[in-house]
Structures are given as C-alpha cells and as structure tokens.
Amino acid sequence: MNKEELNEIKKILRANDPPVDWVYSFYVSPESEVVWTSFRKFLSFDEDERFRYKDIMKKALQGVMGREMNSVSLSSQAASLLPLWNLDYENHGLLDAFVEQVAAAYAHTDPYFASLFHITYDVPGKSSDRHKLEDGDVVYQTLLFAICPAALTKPALGWDEDSGVYELDRRWTIGAPVEGFLYPAFSDRVSDLNETLYRAKKGISVDLFDALFDAAIPATQKEQKEAFHILMDALGVSVSSASALQEDLSHLEAEDVTNLEKSDVKKLAERCGVNTDDFDDSYDDCVGDMTLTVPALREPAVIVSTDSATIKVDTDRSSLISTKNIDGITYLCIPVDGGVLVNGIPALPETEEKE
C-alpha cells in the first residue's frame, strides 16, 4: 500500500457521509477488564457523534508511511479478522472473541477506548490518464481499528453559584489513537488479504501484533537509524559523504520513495561517494532482513557534532560542508555566505589576522 492509495482512503473517510457500515467500540479498565461495549450502525449516530468518530478514523490513519505507518506483507491471511471482515450484522460471539483477543494481548497501565470500523467503498474506475470515471466494478471492504488511551483530567478548581469555588471531580477523557491497523490493505486499489497497514505512534505492541498477524514486526524508526548508522560506520564514511546522504534521501522523499531494498541502499551510498567494496557483507551484518525506509532515515537538517561544537546546516546546503587539515589539525569548514549571528548578535567574519 503506497502513499497515493492511503490518501484515497483518507479522502473517503473525510467525506460528510463516509462509507462506514458499522462501528464496534469497547472500553477496557486498567485491569484489562472489558467494562463497556457498543455495536451500532454508523447511520444511527447523530451529527456530534459522527464528528467524534470521524475524528478517530482520521487520526487512526495519521502519520508518515515508513515511519508511524507501515505496509506489512503477511505470511498468511489474518484468520481471526476474516469473519469480522465479512460481518454485516451484530454477532456477539465473533465480536466478543475479538475483544478478548485484544484485551489479553495489549499491554497498558491506564484504561483505553477502542473502535473497530467496517468500511465498504465502491472504488471508482480510472482511465489511463488517471482521471476518475463514473462507474467502477470493484468493492473494497476493510476493517479500521484504533486504540485510544484514556487519561485523567488534571486537578482544577471550579465555580458555581450554589457551591462557590470547589474542587472539580477528575474524569477519564479519551485521547487520540496511538495504535491500530487497516486490514485488508488497499493495494492496487483492491483488497489485499495478504497485507495490512499497521500504525503505531510510538512503538508497536508486540503481543498484539503477533496475536493478530502472521508477519515480521516492522522495525521502529530508532532501530532503522541505528542499523543504518552502524552500516555507514562500517563502510568508513567521510564528512562530505555523510552530509550528502541526507541530501540524497531528501530527493528520494520528494519522489515518494518509501522502502529501500538492499540494492537501493548500495546505490545511495555510491551516489554519495561511499566506498562499497565491502557493502554486501557489511549490510548483511548490520541490517540483515530489516526493511529500511526513507522517512525513518531522513533528517530535517544535517547536524555535524564534534567534542567541542555542533553545527546545523539545511539539507539542501550540505554540499558546503568539508574538512581541511591545517598545520596537522583537522578543521570543519563551512563557507560564510550572508550575515552571521552569534547568540543573536550580528557579527562580522574575521577575514584578516589581527596584529
């Protein structure tokens, strides 16, 4: 599932009448006890309720492909989800089994609210020039699941005419989704039962993922960066090459490239002047089967750090960074163009040695 396909699903869910059939919601206590459930047709919600649930759906698909959101190929179809995927009416047995599966696997300390949305989208056809046609013969059905943690409101004082100033009762409020999935994925604009789009704002719940899907868990952004840095260190990267890597990654991001295969990483290194004679063995040792993604590796700027200084340079200006050896000492060199500020003070570059 790519960025364009994800944006199409986002668009239909933002519509005034999104193609949602039913919503199954439940609330789980800190002790993993299911204390409330609700199964409702989406058309039965009033305007305010629709707004709240549409907001959950919107935020459940919020993030960057390859970072918070990962398209995951499955070794086998998600057997526990297929009956729910085909469900068009309330079935207590199937729904209860799903809740028990989630409650038993999802690790948490505070209560949480979760919703499972059943979506049926009549996919419009597209001509060869990518313009939409009026008719289409593909129906995409999917499940969108979102886990929303609850948090206690902060202690506060309130006022009313009868009591005056008094301590307000603290209440549990439901926050934005932090983890969930879209299954099956919307790949090539059809349902792909062998793929899911999994979203985790912070880290993936390993037990929950393993309970639902038969697949390798996507590496986190931190894990990908660490593996990539170790690989480049093993290859012996110069300052200029390390700076060029970020500029090249920014170009790939602009081209909507997400996943990097082993061959893609090698080409990236070669374009940036990195010696790749030992690339294959180093990649296998440092990265292995991990999938690297452009959004996870891409930094907003090039930051060069030494024991005594840290310098930040815009990615598109990274080619200005170099090193120079003067009298046996290596210096970091960046041309001065435009004004110079030192702690906010306009300063003049010293072009001549003082006598």
Backbone CA torsion sign across 319, 325, 331, 337: negative
Confidence class of residue 256 from pLDDT cuts 50, 70 and 90? Answer: confident
Same structural domain, 173 and 101: yes
- Cβ atoms of residues 149 and 178 within 8 Å: yes
Write out pLDDT tens, residues 92-141.
Answer: 899 999 999 999 999 999 999 999 999 999 999 876 666 666 566 899 99
pLDDT exceeds cutoff 90 at 334: no
Same structural domain, 77 and 17: yes
Same structural domain, 149 and 205: yes
Same structural domain, 142 and 231: no
**CA 265 – CA 259 distance, rounded (Å):** 10
Same structural domain, 30 and 161: yes
Same structural domain, 295 and 328: yes
- Cβ atoms of residues 27 and 111 within 8 Å: yes
Token digits of residue 316: 């598109």
Write out pLDDT tens, residues 53-64.
Answer: 999 999 999 999
**CA 243 – CA 101 distance, rounded (Å):** 47
Same structural domain, 82 and 206: yes
pTM of the entire predicted model: 0.84
Backbone angles phi, psi at 92, to 5 degrees: -60, -40
Residue 350 lies inside a defined structural domain of this protein: no
Token digits of residue 239: 């300052």
Q: Three-state SS for 350?
A: coil
- Full residue range of the structural domain in which residue 189 is found: 3-212
**CA 7 – CA 64 distance, rounded (Å):** 11
pLDDT at residue 336 in the model: 78
Q: Which residues contact 351 (CB under 8 A, 6 or more apart)?
A: none
Residue 277 lies inside a defined structural domain of this protein: yes
First to last CA, the chain: 66
Residues present in the chain in total: 355
User: The tokens 């452009």 sit on which residue?
Assistant: 294
User: The tokens 């419009």 sit on which residue?
Assistant: 124
Same structural domain, 243 and 260: yes
**CA 32 – CA 111 distance, rounded (Å):** 8
Write out pLDDT tens, residues 138-155.
Answer: 999 999 999 999 999 999
Same structural domain, 79 and 194: yes
Write out pLDDT tens, residues 154-212.
Answer: 999 999 988 899 998 999 999 999 999 999 999 999 999 999 999 999 889 999 999 99
**CA 298 – CA 203 distance, rounded (Å):** 19
Residue 353 lies inside a defined structural domain of this protein: no
Count of domains forming the chain:
2
